[in-house]
């Protein structure tokens, strides 16, 4: 069964159709990229998948179960991890505590009033950080972390509830080129290993074509192409959409 099924998703803002009739699926272990020029509706699309926006029409199914219109926290509970275009972490907590929060929430232990977080078992959180190469940063406050590191923290947080689906909005924005490749390679490895479906948007076409199994191209709210990287690269409509930007072949 597909991890994520999207059918006929649509959303308008004040008469402007941001997304119209978008349908696609993501399979377990698959890296699916969602690309398109600025304003194509990528973020709107993304925000409807995890419940931050309520679609006007369409159905979103996770492992066959409709999750359309559920609150983000409910979607998360069903196994959808999320990273943001502009990173969102808890600035007054350390890297380790950030990950611990996700784990505690997953275990529904956030109501605890007595036992200090500091005295709880941090091994699972450490293991996650280890995996993402962030173990040395564990004790540093997120508020002073470099941007690239924050992206990794976000990924660790997103992985904390053993997700079935990972939604990554611009996962490498603001990172140095070598870092981007390393992060996406790591993500792809984790995805395959754990059978996590990954849907990501990305500006950097090198990243997209290097790591995506499949690519969706969105333009003015509608899907205009879908397929393997080579096919999408060759698609004349895609070339037309990106014409002049030169973004299909090179990085920014």
The binding site for other proteins (CB under 8 A) comprises 50, 71-73, 76-77, 82, 84, 86, 88-94, 97, 101-102, 104-106, 109-118, 120, 141, 143-144, 157, 160-161
CB of 120 or CB of 222, closer to other proteins: 120
The Cα–Cα gap between 4 and 6 comes to: 7
CB of 105 or CB of 194, closer to other proteins: 105
CB of 27 or CB of 105, closer to other proteins: 105
CB of 90 to other proteins, least distance (A): 4
CB of 166 to other proteins, least distance (A): 12
CB of 134 to other proteins, least distance (A): 16
Q: Return the half-sphere exposure (C-beta side, CA atoms, 13 A cut-off) of residue 200.
A: 30
CB of 239 to other proteins, least distance (A): 35
Angle (nearest 5°) at CA 83 between 50 and 214: 80
CB of 50 or CB of 172, closer to other proteins: 50
Q: Name the residue among 113, 104, 9 with its Cα closest to residue 57.
A: 9
The Cα–Cα gap between 114 and 111 comes to: 9
Helix (H, G, I), strand (E, B) or coil at 80: strand
CB of 169 to other proteins, least distance (A): 11
Q: Which residues contact 150 (CB under 8 A, 6 or more apart)?
A: 87, 89, 142
Kindly give the residue spans of alpha helices, DSSP state H, lying in 50-194: 72-77, 95-106, 123-131, 147-159, 177-194
CB of 63 or CB of 93, closer to other proteins: 93
Kind of pairing, strands 4-13 and 16-26? antiparallel
């Amino acid at each position: 069964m597909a991890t994520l099924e999207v059918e006929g998703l649509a959303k308008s803002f004040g008469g402007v159709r941001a997304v119209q009739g978008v349908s696609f699926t993501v399979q377990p272990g698959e890296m699916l990229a969602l690309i398109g020029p600025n304003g194509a509706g990528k973020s709107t699309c993304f925000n409807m998948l995890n419940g931050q926006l309520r679609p006007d029409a369409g159905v979103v199914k996770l492992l066959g179960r409709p999750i359309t219109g559920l609150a983000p926290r409910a979607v998360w509970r069903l196994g959808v991890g999320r990273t943001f275009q502009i990173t969102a972490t808890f600035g007054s907590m350390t890297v380790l505590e950030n990950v611990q929060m996700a784990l505690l929430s997953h275990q529904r232990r956030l109501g605890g009033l007595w036992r200090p977080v500091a005295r709880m078992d941090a091994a699972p959180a450490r293991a996650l950080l280890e995996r993402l190469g962030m173990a040395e940063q564990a004790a540093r406050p997120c508020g002073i972390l470099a941007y690239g590191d924050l992206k990794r923290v976000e990924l660790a947080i997103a992985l904390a509830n053993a997700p079935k689906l990972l939604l990554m909005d611009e996962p490498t924005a603001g990172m140095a080129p070598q870092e981007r490749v390393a992060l996406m390679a790591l993500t792809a490895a984790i995805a395959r290993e754990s059978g996590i479906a990954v849907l990501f948007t990305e500006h950097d076409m090198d990243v997209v074509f290097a790591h995506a199994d499949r690519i969706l191209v969105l333009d003015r709210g509608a899907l205009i192409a879908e397929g393997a990287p080579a096919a999408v690269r060759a698609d004349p409509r895609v070339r037309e959409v990106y014409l002049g930007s030169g973004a299909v072949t090179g990085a920014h």
